[in-house]
Amino acid sequence: MALLLSAGATVLSGRVQAQAPDSLIMQVHKAVARGLSYFSSPRRTLDPDAVLLHAYMRDRFNLPKLLKAEAVLAGIRADSTGQFHKFLRLAEPMTCRMDFLDADGANDLSAAGVWYDELPDQSLLMERIRDLEWNEPYQVTHALWALAMARNCFHAEVDTAVERRLVEHNRAIMESGRPLWNDVAIEALAMAQYNDTAYVPPQEYIKEIIALQNLNGSWNWVPHDPARESQHTTILALWALLQYKPLQWPVSPRDMVVH
């Protein structure tokens, strides 16, 4: 799954900017609608990671349920040793197992955030983040997700110096991907918004991502490579667009929670 400060979040530049023109808001609405339609196609086989992230977003943004989601979730439930099983908590209540908390790569950084309240010692999350491989982009994006989830869902106090470093690295990933946003660059934007709920990305970011959407509503893992159409990239692009603050979709989204 290439998949999250008691005194508040680190601020990214660009928080204060002019209200986006109505035309951009309409473009975002249409892009989100096309993306949701892509996942709702009866001919599409849904990927487990996309279904889990959609379920988490559905709770927050009141999105429509995916018709084929239950069959995918049933498969994840049945595969108790599979890589996605530990992330079922994003979609439904479940009981933690100690092996869910094993540390091994980007996905398990995310799992430590999902199961923060079950860690035997909650300082383990910050220790894992400090020890991550900072030159591995997905470890950086997943670490910011885990840190933000610990704070936003479980009211954890986090190391603001580590948070600042994570934010800076995620910003660097975004900038290195522009204007052709690949999967990890879009993930970095989505996690930056999730971490700082007051952050408003530059309008150019949003325009560039919308411009990369395929006619069928999807995005590609690698831009302009039709062989790399990706449900993972698509669900992350939708997450980034749904969090775009002038959009206000919905006006009062639910608190960020896990089951």
Q: What angle do CA 179, 183, 187 make, to 5 degrees?
A: 95
- For the record, the structure tokens of 165 come out as 């470093």
pLDDT in tens, 205-237: 999 999 999 999 999 999 988 889 999 999 999
C-alpha 205/C-alpha 31 separation (Å) is 14
- Please check whether residue 209 is in contact with residue 188, taking contact to mean a CB–CB distance below 8 angstroms: no
- Please check whether residue 84 is in contact with residue 254, taking contact to mean a CB–CB distance below 8 angstroms: no
Between these two residues, 233 and 251, which has the higher pLDDT value? 233
Region 123-136: what's the mean pLDDT? 91
Residue-averaged pLDDT of the chain? 86
C-alpha 132/C-alpha 130 separation (Å) is 6
Q: Which has the closest alpha carbon to 248: 173, 204, 182, 197? A: 197
pLDDT in tens, 9-44: 333 444 444 444 568 889 999 999 999 999 999 999
Instruction: Give this prediction's pTM.
Output: 0.87
pLDDT in tens, 39-56: 999 999 999 999 999 999
At 248, the pLDDT band (50, 70, 90 cuts) reads low
Domain ranges for the chain, please list them: 22-247
pLDDT in tens, 153-182: 898 999 999 999 999 999 999 999 899 999
Sign for the CA dihedral angle at 57, 60, 243, 13 comes to negative
Q: Which has the closest alpha carbon to 242: 254, 230, 224? A: 254
Region 117-126: what's the mean pLDDT? 91
**Which residue type sits at 241?**
L
C-alpha 143/C-alpha 24 separation (Å) is 31
Predicted confidence at residue 9, as pLDDT, reads: 39
Complete DSSP assignment for 197-218: TT----HHHHHHHHHT--TTS-
> Collapsing DSSP states into helix, strand and coil, what is residue 12?
coil
Region 188-200: what's the mean pLDDT? 92
